[in-house]
Amino acid sequence: MEGKPSLFSILTKRMDWLGQRQRVVTANIANADTPDFIPRDMEAGSFRRQLARTSSAAMTPAATNGQHIQTSQLRGRSDGDAEAEDRYETAPSGNAVVLEEQLIKMTQTRMHYEAMANLYKKHAQMYKIALRSPR
């Protein structure tokens, strides 16, 4: 396993990213009444790029059979592109924060963070079980 990131480091990086996203969404909500404020969000693919940087081998799909789906067919619009195109509304003051949208993002971020924390906890429990001496 030399050179490959451990599950602990991957989960920690994901939890850090989710914590930063929660701060960005909170700032958006705090500025819901600020004139000309444009809400921000963190790019969803940044975790994937970080994982690819830490991984020693690139994890890219490869068609090993002529009947496989070509990777170019799998590429679609990313979530960030869809969000940029679908600005819901802008207030007369120029503020583009939609509280319902921000609350949904906050809830999704919290749920993903809890899932990562549970995975971290279960992984630690597995190590404890494996390291216990048989009696």
pLDDT of residue 84: 46
Domain around 127? 7-53+81-131
Q: Which residue has the higher pLDDT, 54 or 12?
A: 12
Q: Mark 39-67 as b/e (b = at least 16 C-beta within 10 Å).
A: bebbeeeebeebeeeeeeeeeeeeeeeee
Banded pLDDT at 71 (limits 50, 70, 90): low
Residue 63 resides in a domain: no
The total of structural domains in the chain comes to 1
Residue 125 resides in a domain: yes
Residue 37 resides in a domain: yes
Banded pLDDT at 96 (limits 50, 70, 90): confident
Residue 64 resides in a domain: no
Residue 105 resides in a domain: yes
pLDDT of residue 82: 44
Residue 32 resides in a domain: yes
